[in-house]
């Protein structure tokens, strides 16, 4: 009984986890530093210094939605992180945002919950956009004459905004299925301080093939389940970052496009061949799994990345828990 009372007394003395809400979290994230932290994380992942179990998925039909559960830790680090992020696609009809989520930060030494980040999926959005910036930094051509953004959602905006830190370009084309949403996105972007400081000219295009044929840095940000971006339209020297296929059944690029590419790079080869753009290309024998490079290796060894302005490069981003770990640690500092 004495030991039990001591254990209960010790439990009562354990401090409560710190809780941060979205406004507090936003003040703690510096964009250039975030890009560097995500870059470092990809290298750690490819060097097998990170433990990242397979992604957990929950799917809902009525109403349509999905939940992604990602978790892991850097070996020898202070913390491990669990992240849940959801998307419920009828929410705008209810006046609610599509996405929600949180991150939990635990001590690696005691298992104690140290920090609860009620980020409403903002940290997931930011680390995803930062991964796109890292991909462009290391694989886009030196001379980007037009940026192409495919999609009109949150990632379409954030991917473009974070490219400001890594790409010198003054022209952007945007395509989306809903022309009204395209115009709203363009108006929103033109009103942001970063785009104004950038001096970026943004225009809409009604034809996706027009965007693909004119732009040599393309970011696809949709949840498409059938490919819209055709291999035949891609010009020499183009870099494509595909970040929409983060779940089974999604596909934005024709498998033939990956076959046409000089380099196919994945944030995680194992994840991308399971549920990324690489899945269809490998299953259809358009490319071999062994030919896919991992982004962390390209960052660490640029000689295996883009070596010519004429090369076509594709980066398949499915989202890896190391990104959540890195951005959570930024908030905890």
**Preceding amide of 61 cis, omega within 30:** no
Give which of 315, 326, 217 is closest to 268, Cα–Cα. Answer: 315
**SS3 call for 17:** coil
Identify whether the C-beta of residue 304 lies closer than 8 Å to the C-beta of residue 291: no
Strand ranges inside 10-63, DSSP E:
18-21, 50-51, 56-60
Angle between helices 122-139 and 31-46 (to 10 degrees): 70
Contact residues for 300 (Cβ-Cβ < 8 A; gap 6+): 43, 46, 47
Q: Is 170 a catalytic residue?
A: no
Query: Which entry of 83, 181, 206, 225 is annotated as an active-site residue?
Result: 83
Element (H, E) at 6: helix 2-13
Dihedral sign, Cα of residue 25, residue 31, residue 37, residue 38:
positive
Q: How many CA atoms lie within 13 A of 90 on its CB side?
A: 6
Element (H, E) at 161: helix 154-163
Integer Cα distance of 256 and 238 in angstroms? 15
3-state helix, strand, coil in the chain (%, to 5): 40, 25, 35
Residues in the chain: 333
Integer Cα distance of 315 and 168 in angstroms? 19
Give which of 296, 253, 257 is closest to 276, Cα–Cα. Answer: 253
Phi, psi of 324 (to 5 degrees): -65, -40
Contact residues for 26 (Cβ-Cβ < 8 A; gap 6+): 122
Residues with a catalytic annotation lie at: 83
């Amino acid at each position: 009984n004495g030991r039990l009372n001591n254990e209960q007394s010790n439990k009562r003395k354990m401090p409560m986890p710190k809780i941060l809400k979205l406004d507090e979290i936003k003040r703690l994230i510096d964009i250039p530093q975030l890009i560097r932290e995500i870059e470092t994380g990809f290298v750690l992942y490819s060097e097998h210094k990170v433990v990242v179990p397979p992604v957990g998925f929950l799917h809902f039909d009525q109403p349509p939605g999905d939940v992604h559960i990602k978790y892991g830790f850097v070996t020898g680090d202070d913390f491990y992180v669990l992240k849940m992020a959801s998307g419920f696609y009828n929410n705008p009809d209810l006046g609610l945002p599509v996405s929600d989520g949180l991150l939990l930060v635990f001590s690696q030494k005691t298992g104690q919950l140290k920090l609860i980040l009620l980020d409403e999926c903002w940290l997931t959005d930011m680390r995803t956009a930062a991964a796109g910036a890292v991909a462009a930094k290391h694989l886009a051509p030196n001379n980007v004459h037009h940026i192409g953004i495919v999609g009109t959602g949150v990632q379409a905006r954030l991917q473009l905004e974070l490219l400001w830190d890594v790409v010198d370009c003054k022209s952007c084309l945007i395509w989306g299925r809903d022309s009204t949403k395209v115009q709203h996105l363009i108006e929103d972007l033109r009103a942001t301080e970063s785009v104004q400081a950038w001096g970026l000219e943004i225009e809409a295009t009604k034809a996706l093939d027009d965007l693909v044929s004119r732009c040599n840095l393309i970011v696809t940000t949709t949840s498409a389940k059938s490919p819209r971006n055709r291999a035949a339209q891609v010009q020499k020297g183009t870099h494509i970052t595909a970040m929409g296929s983060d779940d089974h059944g999604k596909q934005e690029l024709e498998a033939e496009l990956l076959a046409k590419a000089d380099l196919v790079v994945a944030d995680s080869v194992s994840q991308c061949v399971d549920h990324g753009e690489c899945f269809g290309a490998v299953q259809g024998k358009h490319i071999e799994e062994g030919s896919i490079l991992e982004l962390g290796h390209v960052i660490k060894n640029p000689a295996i990345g883009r070596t010519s302005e004429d090369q076509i490069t594709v980066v398949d981003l499915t989202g890896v828990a190391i990104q959540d770990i890195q951005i959570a640690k930024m908030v905890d500092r």
